[in-house]
Structure 1
Amino acid sequence: MKPILSCDEVRELEDIIEKQGTSKAELMELAGEFAAAQVERLSPKHVLVLAGFGNNGGDGWVAADILSQKGIAVDVVSPVEPDEIPATLARHVARRTAGRDVTVYVGPSRDELSELILKADVVLDAILGTGFHGGLRPPFNIWIDALNEAGATVVSVDVPSGLDAQTGAVAGTCVRADVTATMFAPKIGMFSASGPDFAGEVVCGELYEKLDEVIGDVSHAAEHVDADDLIDYLEPLPSDINKYTRGSVLVVAGSAQYPGAAIMAAKAAARAGAGYVAVAAPEPCANLIRLALPSVPVFAMPADSRGAFGAAAPMQVSELASRYGCVLCGPGMTTSAGAMGVVTSLLALDVPLVLDADALNCLAAVAIDGIDATPELYRREAPLIMTPHYGELARLVHEDAVGNLAEAMDAAQRIVWGVGSDNLIVVAKGPTTAVVGVEKVLLPLSGPASLATAGSGDVLAGIIAGATALNRDRIEAWELLASYAVALHSYTGFAAAERFGEKSVIATDLIDCIGDAMRLMTEEVVGGLENEVASSAKEA
């Protein structure tokens, strides 16, 4: 797993490195060298560097110097003369570079800048760095608009200019980078809100040779989960396994209005590896679910007049649920009084529990000031995994809205820290899904836009339940188990988009692609390990 840092954590890391003897001036030289290397690998003959006022601009001036010394034609655009740059380090390297074999343009007009962009093979964006937030001011908003309109090949230094590196927000305009050459570690804003749309390929320069020794001295906003971190969940089944030792799942879901949610969740749990899956659903929709899932036992529960779980359902559901290795509750169950009783009764059981969709809405409805203010509602000894999307997450903590990854992480941490249990995980679903535990936040592989379809969350909940049941006896970190399920769900999105087309994917397609997704994950892990072995052998 690789760290992802907040802006404050980056500044703290730089201070630690400086105390250990590497100055910020040295780091600027190393950052410029790394940025130059990312430009050079694109084989340009002519490069344009857009340099701002601060240290990010200083990185750009260093890169310009290095590229020019390699025989590449370099133009640098600056808002002021090098002697007038306010940041001391940036002013020093700008003076040095301006006296060498580069051409400097100070404050060009929009038309002049557009001509310079068109002449360049690659543009190095060193306008604004991680300290930027709020709105853009002239001339930088004009520069960025001209750059984006030209459709140039762009390498951004540390973060695309105009992107808030903490929140991923864009106020007005932002550089659309092909490559972002970030320093030390990716910034959390590259994964939040608009960040993924503007960052392009993110490559990371460690800069400091002892980075591995000191990066653990600062907190990590999150950690990125690679496929090879999940290798334990991709092992083949042992030959002596049977349907019971593979794990069992009870899906408590559905209503007369939404029977399909229970069907999709149960089928996904079975596809994800559980050996025995059953459904407990209100009596009015039980036969429909039986017809759709001939291999799955369906238990009809007492219903109310609207076809949702009735007042007598909680006792029967709890008695049934105690026999299973994992229980998934919520998809399509509505928020009837009986459904609320089902949720609270399941929370009292000593069995791994996944709460999704309406189960979370039921929980939010009984909390007065957010569930984090009343942790006794969801405190339990057995594992609990909640899977809210942003809207459900906002309801759980009684906020008006949760609008981006950073806000989702904050809200999920409030829930987890409310009880402080290692067995409580919040899977905050969004364009980038965060798996939040009491000690860490993990960001598994994000899926394609094809996952943005009704029922996709029901499939993910089923995958989580199936993976929990299959791996229950060997789970050491629940965050990693949930990350495996999220990554598998993402791979189903890629596989389904390949088969049906990105805009044509529906949730049931995702279920049918779970096997393909497992194969894709395994191939990526095996291929990565083979490349590591080959690289090590070559070095030896």
Structure 2
Amino acid sequence: MPQHAGGSLSDALFSADSVRRIDQYVIEQQGVDGFELMQSAARAAFRRLVVRWPGVSPLLVLCGAGNNGGDGYLIAANAVRHGFTVHCVAVAPTEKLDGDARKAWQKAVADGVKVLELADIGEPELERLFETAELIVDAMLGTGASGAPREPFAAVIAQCNRSGLPVLAVDVPSGLNATTGAVKGEAVRAAMTVTFTGRKAGLYTGQGAAMCGDVVFEALNVSASVADSGESPLAMLRRWPTVRDWLPVRPANAHKGRFGHVLVVAGDRGFGGAGLLTAEAAARSGAGLVSLATRPEHMTAALARCPSIMVHGLIHGSELPALLNAATVVVCGPGLGQSAWGQQMLQQVVESGKPRVLDADALNLLASRVAMPASNQILTPHPGEAARLLNCLVPEIEADRMAAANKLQSLYGGVILLKGAGTIIASGLDVVDVAGGSNPGMATGGMGDVLSGIVGALYAQLTGSPVHAAVLGAVVHLEAACRASADKGYMGLIPTDVIDALPQVFREAEPVSNGSEEEE
């Protein structure tokens, strides 16, 4: 099994500062001309533009004052040379350009690009340019911007978003923090973002998932220099094709005892469905045995829905220890409630010392106690639960999701799975994991219960590696949702659709052979 921090260099996620230092290293230590590097970036972005939007014209290219603006001027030059109609607007005055950005502007003008100074054209003319354009190239604010965009950038960004036109963002959508994925004020909503040299962490989590559209990475042939630069990534991007070999191989003589016994403790009165979703997801994720401890009134529905689950109706927490003794992993919290019944159940789970996955009301109850760190637990909060656990506000969590996950891990130990677009998994290492991708269909009740069941089942099978279980669980959950939404759409997606798609996802990681003898 690969080490937790392992993975391809192309999947490493860096801070914006690290990528700038990598660029500097490439230029100063490897002898690569900075302007040539800028031209390579512009050519790569233009190639992506042509492939995604063949024949689109005219282009409206919006340029800032830094190297991001320089990329924009060179994209405009490439477009003109290939016969595109191009309207290029200098949102920052060209007199402020220096270094390679100034060279780029000069080359664009020499190649026939007519650059319009924003300060010299009135609002009616700018509005006309937006109305006649078919595609916007956003090269206004690069990775150096971190706060709310100032004028005139804020107004132009807002106009981009109002236009309804597709936007190609160069390196990062203007207004997005390339390190944290946070947005303060206005930010461009791009259809595609072409990013260079190293992947920026903020493009893959938080608001980045909403603002970037499709993210395309262009290494610009400097991968070796990235490795030599000494810059460490903030995170590793994890996706189904790159993690599916983490799943344990099932031998031909496998039996249910080899794959763990998951006990789901969930479902107070009125919330029986939560525990059933969790238990069924665990059963569909390879657990050898699954038990559900819930309120007695939920037993009939649970058995009717999924008869392979062993269902126990519990009235009091004192009935739980016998079930805990038989469990490999305990999943506690979905629909647990915060009444005396839920409190008793959580207390028994914690006191058992069993490896555990805590979610939902278990986290809400945990937030009211003194922090109880444990190395064998996985916590799966959404931003609201994370805010309660850290005694802060949700915007503080979303302002830097990676920092929030790391802080939770330092307080509670184990592994933190911070849910949301670009789920963060923190395990106490310097490098966190990011489950790449998002799916708006998952924004409905019960999806987190399914995730808990998946994570619990994988933890039962990977008992020595809770972080692998958490990463795999987050990635599998997203992949199954994407498979289901391809058929159901986003608005109609419900948690059971995701459960039904799990076998299809897991099947891709299984060997083709079934152990039978072939005749000659």
Structure 2-normalised TM-score? 0.85
| Residue 116 of structure 1, aligned match among 129, 137, 155 | 129
CA contact (8 A) 1:442 1:479 kept: no
The offset of 1:341, in angstroms, is 4.8
Structure 1 unmatched ranges of 5 or more: 304-308, 372-376, 527-540
CA contact (8 A) 2:283 2:309 kept: no
Distance (Å, rounded) in 2 between the aligned partners of 1:274 and 1:397: 32
- The amino acid that maps onto 2:39 is E
The offset of 1:448, in angstroms, is 1.9
1:98 equivalenced with 2:109 (yes/no): yes
Distance (Å, rounded) in 2 between the aligned partners of 1:61 and 1:275: 59
Q: 1:143 to 1:336 in 2, by over 3 A?
A: closer
CA contact (8 A) 2:197 2:218 kept: yes
Residue 215 of structure 2 aligns to a residue whose secondary structure is strand
The offset of 1:111, in angstroms, is 2.6
Instruction: Report the equivalent of 1:379.
Output: 374
Instruction: Report the equivalent of 1:33.
Output: 43
Instruction: Report the equivalent of 2:516.
Output: none
Distance (Å, rounded) in 2 between the aligned partners of 1:256 and 1:150: 49
The offset of 1:275, in angstroms, is 1.8
The offset of 1:242, in angstroms, is 1.7
Q: After superposition, what is the alpha-carbon deviation per residue over 1:339-367, rounded to whole angstroms, capped at 9, x for unaligned?
A: 44543443344532111112222221112
The offset of 1:456, in angstroms, is 1.3
1:221 equivalenced with 2:251 (yes/no): no
CA contact (8 A) 2:377 2:466 kept: no
- The amino acid that maps onto 2:388 is R
| Residue 78 of structure 1, aligned match among 90, 102, 111 | 90
Instruction: Report the equivalent of 2:78.
Output: 66
| Residue 328 of structure 1, aligned match among 323, 328, 331 | 331
Distance (Å, rounded) in 1 between the aligned partners of 2:192 and 2:228: 24
Q: 1:269 to 1:215 in 2, by over 3 A?
A: farther
- The amino acid that maps onto 2:446 is G
Distance (Å, rounded) in 1 between the aligned partners of 2:221 and 2:486: 40
The offset of 1:328, in angstroms, is 1.1
Distance (Å, rounded) in 1 between the aligned partners of 2:110 and 2:304: 79
- The amino acid that maps onto 1:33 is R
Distance (Å, rounded) in 1 between the aligned partners of 2:384 and 2:92: 46
CA contact (8 A) 1:335 1:358 kept: yes
Instruction: Report the equivalent of 1:529.
Output: none
Q: After superposition, what is the alpha-carbon deviation per residue over 1:309-340, rounded to whole angstroms, capped at 9, x for unaligned?
A: 4xxx2xx4234313222111122222345544
Instruction: Out of 209-218 and 59-68, give the one that drifted further.
Output: 209-218
Distance (Å, rounded) in 2 between the aligned partners of 1:288 and 1:74: 63
Q: After superposition, what is the alpha-carbon deviation per residue over 1:56-107, rounded to whole angstroms, capped at 9, x for unaligned?
A: 111212223334344444442114663x124433223323432332212122
Instruction: Out of 358-367 and 42-51, give the one that drifted further.
Output: 42-51
| Residue 347 of structure 1, aligned match among 347, 350, 353 | 350
Q: 1:341 to 1:208 in 2, by over 3 A?
A: same
Residue 327 of structure 2 aligns to a residue whose secondary structure is coil
Q: After superposition, what is the alpha-carbon deviation per residue over 1:497-520, rounded to whole angstroms, capped at 9, x for unaligned?
A: 34444222322333233223435x
The offset of 1:24, in angstroms, is 4.2
Instruction: Report the equivalent of 2:467.
Output: 479
Distance (Å, rounded) in 1 between the aligned partners of 2:461 and 2:342: 27
The offset of 1:115, in angstroms, is 3.2
Residue 245 of structure 1 aligns to a residue whose secondary structure is helix
1:409 equivalenced with 2:402 (yes/no): yes
* Cα-Cα RMSD: 3.0
The offset of 1:249, in angstroms, is 0.9
The offset of 1:455, in angstroms, is 1.4
- The amino acid that maps onto 2:379 is M
| Residue 432 of structure 1, aligned match among 419, 422, 427 | 422
1:514 equivalenced with 2:507 (yes/no): no
Q: After superposition, what is the alpha-carbon deviation per residue over 1:375-400, rounded to whole angstroms, capped at 9, x for unaligned?
A: xx2234xx311111111111112213
- The amino acid that maps onto 1:322 is N
1:207 equivalenced with 2:197 (yes/no): no
Distance (Å, rounded) in 2 between the aligned partners of 1:407 and 1:140: 23
1:448 equivalenced with 2:439 (yes/no): yes
Distance (Å, rounded) in 1 between the aligned partners of 2:237 and 2:207: 18
CA contact (8 A) 2:206 2:420 kept: no
- The amino acid that maps onto 1:428 is L
Q: After superposition, what is the alpha-carbon deviation per residue over 1:405-454, rounded to whole angstroms, capped at 9, x for unaligned?
A: 553322221132347x6xx2111111331112211211224342221121
Q: 1:215 to 1:71 in 2, by over 3 A?
A: farther
CA contact (8 A) 2:197 2:222 kept: no
Q: 1:249 to 1:119 in 2, by over 3 A?
A: same
- The amino acid that maps onto 1:116 is L
CA contact (8 A) 1:445 1:486 kept: no
Residue 320 of structure 2 aligns to a residue whose secondary structure is helix
Structure 2 unmatched ranges of 5 or more: 1-6, 513-520
| Residue 468 of structure 1, aligned match among 450, 459, 465 | 459
Instruction: Report the equivalent of 1:177.
Output: 190
Instruction: Report the equivalent of 1:154.
Output: 167
Q: 1:121 to 1:450 in 2, by over 3 A?
A: closer
Aligned length: 497
Instruction: Out of 45-54 and 460-469, give the one that drifted further.
Output: 45-54
CA contact (8 A) 1:246 1:469 kept: yes
CA contact (8 A) 2:292 2:309 kept: yes
CA contact (8 A) 2:261 2:328 kept: yes
- The amino acid that maps onto 1:390 is P
Structure 1-normalised TM-score? 0.82
Percent identity among equivalent residues?
32
Distance (Å, rounded) in 2 between the aligned partners of 1:255 and 1:215: 55
Instruction: Report the equivalent of 1:398.
Output: 391
Distance (Å, rounded) in 1 between the aligned partners of 2:214 and 2:312: 49
- The amino acid that maps onto 1:456 is M
- The amino acid that maps onto 2:374 is R
Instruction: Out of 112-121 and 193-202, give the one that drifted further.
Output: 112-121
